[in-house]
Amino acid sequence: MLQDVLEIPGALHAVLISADGLQMSRTKDLGRDDADKAAAAVSGLQSLSRSVAFFCGESNVNWRQTLIEFDGGWVFLNAAGGGSYLAVAASVEVDMGKITYRMQQLVSRLGKAMATGLREGTVTAHD
C-alpha cells in the first residue's frame, strides 16, 4: 500500500512507523537501514510536535501532521491511527495538496487494514 503514495510526482520514499518508533513497512526503493534511521528520527519529531500542542491555545489537542521543509525537499509526517504514523519524503517539486490528500487516503486504508482481525482458521505463531 505504501507504494501508492509514490505515484504522486515528486514523492520519493514512505515509511510506516509504529508507536514506539520502529519501522513497520517501507517503500521498496528505501533500504532497511535508511528506513530504520528515518523511523527513529521522525519518532522524535512527532514527540516534539506533540509537546507544543499547548501553543495552539488548548492543552488537549491531538497532533495530526508535522511538515518539515529543506532546501531540497519536504518531509511529511502524519498520524496513522493506533499511535502509528506515516512519513513521506518528497522533492521540492511535489504538489503539496496532492501528496497530503494521497497520504490521508493511505492512512485511512492502513487504519482499516491494521484494524482487521484474523480470519477464522488462520494459524498464528502461537498455535
- Residue among 110, 44, 109 nearest 77 (CA): 44
State the cell numbers at 120. 477464522
DSSP 118: P
Q: Rounded distance, CA 80 to CA 87, Å?
A: 10
Q: Give the domain extent around 99.
A: 2-114
Rounded to the nearest 5 percent, the helix, strand and coil shares of the chain are 40, 25, 35
Alpha helices in 4-95 (DSSP H): 32-51
User: How do residues 32-66 score in pLDDT, each as one tens digit?
Assistant: 999 999 999 999 999 888 888 888 877 677 888 99
CATH number at residue 11: 3.30.450.30
> In this predicted structure, what is the pLDDT of residue 81?
82
Is the residue at 124 inside a domain?
A: no
Residue 122 maps to a domain = no
**80 SS3 class:** strand
pLDDT of 114 > 90? The answer is: no
pTM: 0.83
Q: Is residue 27 assigned to a domain?
A: yes
pLDDT at 127: 37
Give how many domains the chain has, as a whole number.
Answer: 1
Name the DSSP class of 56. G
pLDDT of residue 11: 97
